[in-house]
Amino acid sequence: MYFLSAVETENQIELEEKTRLINQVLELQHTLEDLSARVDAVKEENLKLKSENQVLGQYIENLMSASSVFQTTDTKSKRK
């Protein structure tokens, strides 16, 4: 039966710890990559929505200016 010496056991424990830490770092790197990709996608969607909002705002503004309901009136002259 083969018994590991104290040094060999310590080296084995150290190797396992290093392996665990490396795996943890790799997992965190993948998580960071995923989050970065998500941030980029959200930024792109945000820009798209801002652009659509500008178009809709201009459209509404044009409709309001073309409609007599939204035209400004001189309330002082109508009260007299």
In the chain, where the domains are located: 1-58
Nearest partner of 71 among 56, 79, 58, 63, judged by Cα: 63
Triad 60, 49, 61: Cα angle to 5°: 10
pLDDT at 76: 57
- Please list the rounded mean pLDDT of every run of 10 residues in the chain (80 residues): 74 95 98 98 98 96 85 58
pLDDT at 52: 97
pTM (2 decimals)? Answer: 0.59
pLDDT at 6: 81
pLDDT at 1: 44
